[in-house]
Each structure stands twice: as C-alpha cells, then as structure tokens.
Structure 1
Amino acid sequence: MADLVLKTARKAFDLFAEGWATGNFEPYIALLADEMTFWFPTGAHRGKFEGATGRQKMIAKCQDHVAAGDRLTLHPPQHILTDGDSVMFEFEADGLYADEPYKGHNAIAFEVKADKIVGFREYFGDLGA
C-alpha cells in the first residue's frame, strides 16, 4: 500500500510540474478523485474546500494559471516526506507568475486513496527573483 501511495503521489507531482511548465494540466487533472480536499493559502483560490467543490477549485486554479500565462519550473524535490496516505514534496520553483519573475520555496502535500489524489495542500514562500 505504501508503495502505491508514494508512486501515485510522485506521478501527481511530476504531472503537476509538467502542467506548470507546458500549460497542459489535463494529465494531472485526470489523477484527481471526483471528490477531494483542496487547500490553498492565498489569492483567488484561498480556502479549504471539500468534495466535488474541492475538485472544481483545484481545476479552476490550474485553468487560471494557464489563462494568465503563468509558467514555472518545479525543480526536483529536496525532501519527500510520507505519513500514511499523505506525501509531501518540498522543492524550489522559478519562472513567470502573475507577469512577474518568481523564485520560491514550496511544499505540496498530496493525499492518496487507491490510485487517485483525494487531497492537495500547498505552502510556499517567495524568495525573490
């Protein structure tokens, strides 16, 4: 079970990173469960959302980044922490965000059930570009 959780979370991280780099989040979105928890700390998507609304908010966040032309490189994780069904990736990212250069230190936690993402939590700090 632990191997499947880590494998699924790693796939989600890699597809999420690919979405940021290319603007195509569809492969990542395909990994999301029909109902999930989405937690984001700031901006238009700030809050904690559950169920189908959580999934809708996660998708909206991805679509908004595509529409804005945001492009980031999510660098290989510096740390990967696991606890049961939760896997957290700590990494640096840089690129263009909100029409400004961005460089940040980020952590994203995925909750996994079977082979789907049922939870997403993101934490970040801007390191200055």
Structure 2
Amino acid sequence: MTQNSENTLKIAQQAFKNLTHGMETGEWEALLDMLSEDFTLWFPMGKFHGLNVGKDRAREFFEYVSQSFTPGLKLTGLDRVTSNETTAVFEFRDEGLLFGQPYKNRVAVSFDVRGDKICGYREYFGSDGKSY
C-alpha cells in the first residue's frame, strides 16, 4: 500500500466513523468539518437524487437523514472496505425506523479523499433479497 492509499484509507475511516456517529445520534458536525468547500454528494433517490454540490447541501442531506430515521440508524455490520489512492468504499448493513416503519438494508458509501478532506460522497443501497 502506498503512502497516498494509506492516507486515503485513514481519512476515509475517520469519515465513516463520523458518518455512523451521525446516523446514530443526529450529530453531523464532525463529518461536516471534514468536507472540502467544493464537496459533492451523489444520492440514488428522493429529494437529493443525483448530484448535490457544496457543504450547505450536504448539511441539508444529513439533517434529512436524521429526520427520516428517528431515533437513529444503527450500523449492524461492516462487510467490506475497499480503497485505492483517492477513494474508499464501505459496504455495511444498517437498521432502524424509516418514518416510523422498520427498516433494514445493505449500503455502500464511497468517500473521495483529497489531502485531509472528503471531497466526494456517493451512496448506493438495496436489499439483498432477505426480509428487509
């Protein structure tokens, strides 16, 4: 592993830790502080479908996540982490209440890292065929 890939993984692991903390508690400041000014977020559906640009839009997105999953969303398993010199992908399972209804899913999030900042976030999700 090169110096750049080690740094990318280290920064992305901290971002993932801050992401899961935010999912559980609604406290997003630690993650938001890691974002670059030109941060981009890609989400597959709903109000935030497609490309979203900027830290303000990221704040809106993560606050929406907190509003959607009350009292919080729990990480139930980390299945795989893959990284290279610029990107790290975390595949995990989570569960909680989505607008008051039981929710379980498999999710992959990708963090693009530049220096010590997260400059991109992409999220993908979908059931694995079990009773989710």
What TM-score, normalized by structure 1, do the two folds share? 0.89
Structure with the greater alpha carbon radius of gyration: 2
Structure 1 pair 102–56 and aligned structure 2 pair: CA distance change class (3 A)? same
Matched to 2:43, the amino acid is F
More displaced 10-residue stretch of structure 1: 30-39 or 60-69: 60-69
Pairwise CA RMSD of aligned residues? Answer: 1.6
Point out 4+ residue stretches in structure 1 off by more than 3 angstroms: 126-129
- The match for 1:103 is 104
- The match for 2:35 is 32
Distance 1:75 1:3 in 2: 26
Aligned residue-pair number: 126
Query: How far is 1:76 from its partner?
Result: 4.0
- The match for 2:74 is 73
Distance 1:21 1:75 in 2: 11
> Gaps (5+ residues) in structure 1?
none
Identity %: 31
- The match for 2:46 is 43
Residue pair 1:37, 1:54 contacting (<8 A) in 2 also: yes
What TM-score, normalized by structure 2, do the two folds share? 0.87
Matched position secondary structure for 1:24: coil
Matched to 1:87, the amino acid is A
